Every structure is written in structure tokens, then in C-alpha cells.
Amino acid sequence: MTVISTPEQFNTDDLYVDLAPSVGRSLYLKCEGFNFAGSVKLKAALGMVAEAERAGRLHPWSVLIESSSGNLGVALAMIAASRGYRFVCVTDPRCNPTTHRLMEALGAEVRVVDVPDAAGGYLATRIALVRALVEADDRYVWLDQYANPENWGSHVASTGPEIESAFPELDVLFVGAGTTGTLMGCARYFRSRPRRVRVVAVDSAGSVTFGDRPTPRMIPGLGTSVRPPLLDESYVDDVVHVAEPDTLDTCHRLARRGFLFGGSTGTVVAGALAWLARHGDADTTAVALAPDLGERYLDTVYRPSWLREHFGDAVAEAVPVPRGAAPLPHLGTAVPGSDGPLPARSL
């Protein structure tokens, strides 16, 4: 029996899904959404808050503030409620409505910026507002997930060892790239180990993280419009960019198998399948990291009217898959309007 007294004490970190029956290729999915925050961001949030408390930066009167597209905001809202801090989350219109309401239910104040930055995203605008609020009031404490080493340090201490323990013969690990905290933590851990493990970053097409041309993106979580300060490309072996229609297709096909995952997970799985189709074989042991579950995407990724509004009738009609559909194909990362998939890029 498990008994807890605070929500951050609970996290199921040893659940893996064998996706072979669903996708037709050997791929294990590490599920990080089974905690009260609902995502892998609980680990980074705990690490950053604990470090700020140890350093004496947080006081009973402090107001935590952070820029987030959603999942980290929920984790910090939960921890702030548990520990008695106020919390302000600065987000943007791409934040899922359910996520917005969840943060508010936990007592957070949610500020939404609606002016795009120079790259067509909202990250720079969000950060500018955070900095302005911090400069105007010394009660505000910005954890700065984009540059805080605890963001990746928590995964060196937890996620990396967990994966190695479950799969000692691991060949390749697929991790989504947002702030790159999870990516860098896992990559740094496996780089320090004697066994060679390839770490492949999965990014959204239109994200500038790995030098892609910036384009508007509708699915929050992965991808950035400002290159993350945490990123060190020397630790990353390959990069796969996934177009959002492929993310949507993957999410819906997995849902038709009974697995309701979030947009970030759909992107990671689509990228993993694209890479394995080119580089994997029957003996490749591959793990992909699933950052979140799908309930928070019911108003967006899984809503036909939202799909039509943002991606058009063709995508909306193509995405749902009838019961009994064939397994997932080996997806490429086709960009709308292109002639084919984008190849994985070695670094």
C-alpha cells in the first residue's frame, strides 16, 4: 500500500508500453504521465523548487513565476499549492484550455500573452513579460526552466538511471525537445555510461531549436521559437523533425488502440518510427519517452472542429482511424506542401 501526504510524493516511473502490436515495430514507450501533475515536468519542477529553497531564494511571501506552454505550469501550480506559495504562469494562446483551467483550479494565476515574437511563436514574448514582472516586484522568483541546470539535473538523477535499469541492452533513446531539459539530462547520463546508447532528439517542424526555419506551430509542448540555453548539441546523436499532421495521425491511431497520449508523445513516437524505419533493424532495442497523457488535449488534438479550424478538412478527415485499422505505417516527417519526409539529421 502506498500512502502519501503531499501530491509530489507520488510518481509512477517504471511503466513501459510495448508498442509493437500498435505500430508494427519494436518500440518501448516510457510513460511519465502517471503522477498528480500529469507529465514528466514534475521531475524538473521538483528539482528547481528544491534548489531554490536550499539556496534561500524562496520565502513564505515569495511568488513563483514561470513561462510555460502548459505541463511545467501544472507541475509548479501543484507544488506551489502543496507548499503554500503563490504561483503565476505566463503562457500563450496555444496552451490547452483544459491545462489553463487546471492551473487555475490549483490556485495559480494564469497570464496569457497574445503577441507573437519575431520567429512567429510566443516564447520571447512570454519571457519578456516574466522579466518585467520580476523587475517590478521583488517578491517574484523566476525559476527559469530554460537555463536552470536543475531542469536537466533531475533527469541525470532519475530518468536516465530508470531507463538503463529497465533496458540494460538499450541501443537508442528518443526524447522530445522543448526546453531540452529532459533531453539533456538523459543524454548527459548515457554519455557517462560505458555502453554506447544513441540519443535522438525529436523536435517539431518549424521549431528553431536545431536550426530549422521558424513556422507557426499549434501543438504546445515540444519545439521553441527561441533556441534553449540548456541545449548542448554535442550530446545529441541525431535529430528528427516531425510535422504536426504526423503528430496528429500518431495520436489518433494510438487512441484507436486504447492509448490516449498527448501531443508531445505523439510527436516523439512519430519521430521514433521515422528514425527506426531508416536506421533500425529487428534487433534494435529502442525506447521513446512519453512526456504526457491525452486528457488535456481533448479540446484540441482530439476535437474535430479544432482540427478543421487549424489544419483544414483534409487533415481532419484523414486523422480519425476506423476501429480495426491496420498498424501504424513507418511514418516519415512530411511537411505540408513538401514532396516527402525530412530525413533524420546527424550531428
pLDDT tens, position by position, 221-236: 788 888 999 999 999 9
- For residue 105 the three cell numbers come to 483550479
Mean of per-residue pLDDT scores for the chain: 90
Q: What is the mean pLDDT of residues 130-139?
A: 95
pLDDT at 105: 97
Residues 281, 325: Cα–Cα separation, whole Å:
24
Is pLDDT above 80 for 128? Answer: yes
Longest Cα separation, the chain: 58
- Per-residue pLDDT band for 322 (boundaries 50, 70, 90) equals very low
Taking phi first (over 0 means left), then psi (-120 to 50 degrees means alpha), and beta for anything else, what does residue 259 get?
A: beta
Residues 129, 25: Cα–Cα separation, whole Å:
45
DSSP codes of every residue in 291-336:
-BBSGGGTTTTT-HHHHHHHHHHHHHHHS---TTPPPPP----BPT
Is pLDDT above 50 for 264? Answer: yes
pLDDT at 121: 78
Put simply, whether the predicted model's pTM sits higher than 0.85 gets the answer yes
Give the class (CATH, top level) of 7-34+159-335: alpha beta
Q: What pLDDT digit, counting tens, does each position of 35-83 carry?
A: 999 999 999 999 999 999 999 999 999 999 999 988 999 999 999 999 9
**Within this chain, domains 7-34+159-335 and 41-142 share the same CATH topology:** yes
Is pLDDT above 60 for 289? Answer: yes
Number of other CB atoms surrounding residue 346 within 10 Å:
11
User: Domain 41-142 classified CATH 3.40.50.1100?
Assistant: yes
Residues 126, 92: Cα–Cα separation, whole Å:
7
* Domain regions of the chain by residue span: 7-34+159-335, 41-142
CA distances from 179 to 59, 81, 144, 147, 249 (A): 26, 24, 10, 9, 24
pLDDT at 320: 56
Residues 13, 10: Cα–Cα separation, whole Å:
10
pLDDT at 194: 94
Residues of the chain with pLDDT > 70: what percent? 92
Could you give the 3-state DSSP secondary structure of residue 98? helix
Task: Report yes or no: 89 and 68 within 8 Å, Cβ to Cβ.
Answer: yes
pLDDT at 336: 40
